Amino acid sequence: KAGVTQTPRYLIKTRGQQVTLSCSPISGHRSVSWYQQTPGQGLQFLFEYFSETQRNKGNFPGRFSGRQFSNSRSEMNVSTLELGDSALYLCASSLAPTGSVMNTEAFFGQGTRLTVV
């Protein structure tokens, strides 16, 4: 079956702009999590969605937001981009939400490389 698909793969934006990233989970998976990966901070948890509801949010400013649709596809949005937002954004899907006994593995997409200039 198809894996986790993230689009676009690469993106270049200017400071102050906003950006929307998309993640299509594996068919049947209802939990989607987002992570920001940078050389300095490593992998940082952004948020998790399950059944269209945000279950948990990491320590990021309100400029970072997300949503999940009824087909489990998820989008994350970053408004008023800053240079420090340049990173690899990874999406992961799971059958069940984190903490559930059914959540035995997170499957990751290839990420979106965002560069803010």
Partner 1 sequence: AQTVTQSQPEMSVQEAETVTLSCTYDTSESDYYLFWYKQPPSRQMILVIRQEAYKQQNATENRFSVNFQKAAKSFSLKISDSQLGDAAMYFCAYNGADKLIFGTGTRLQVFP
The token pair that represents 29 in the structure block = 């998976």
Stretch that binds partner 1, among 20-28, 39-47, 64-72, 76-84 (CB under 8 A): 39-47
Task: Give CA angle at 104 (102, 105), nearest 5°.
Answer: 130
**CA 117 to CA 101: how far, in whole Å?**
43
Q: According to CB under 8 A, which one of 29, 49, 64, 111 is a site residue for partner 1?
A: 111
Residue 42 or 62: the one with the smaller Cβ distance to partner 1 is 42
Q: Which of residues 70-89 bind partner 1 (CB under 8 A)?
A: 88
Tokens 């079956």, residue located: 1
Q: Is 85 helix (H, G, I), strand (E, B) or coil?
A: helix
Residues engaged in binding partner 1 (CB under 8 A): 33, 35, 42-43, 45, 48, 55-56, 58, 88, 90, 92, 98-99, 103-111, 113
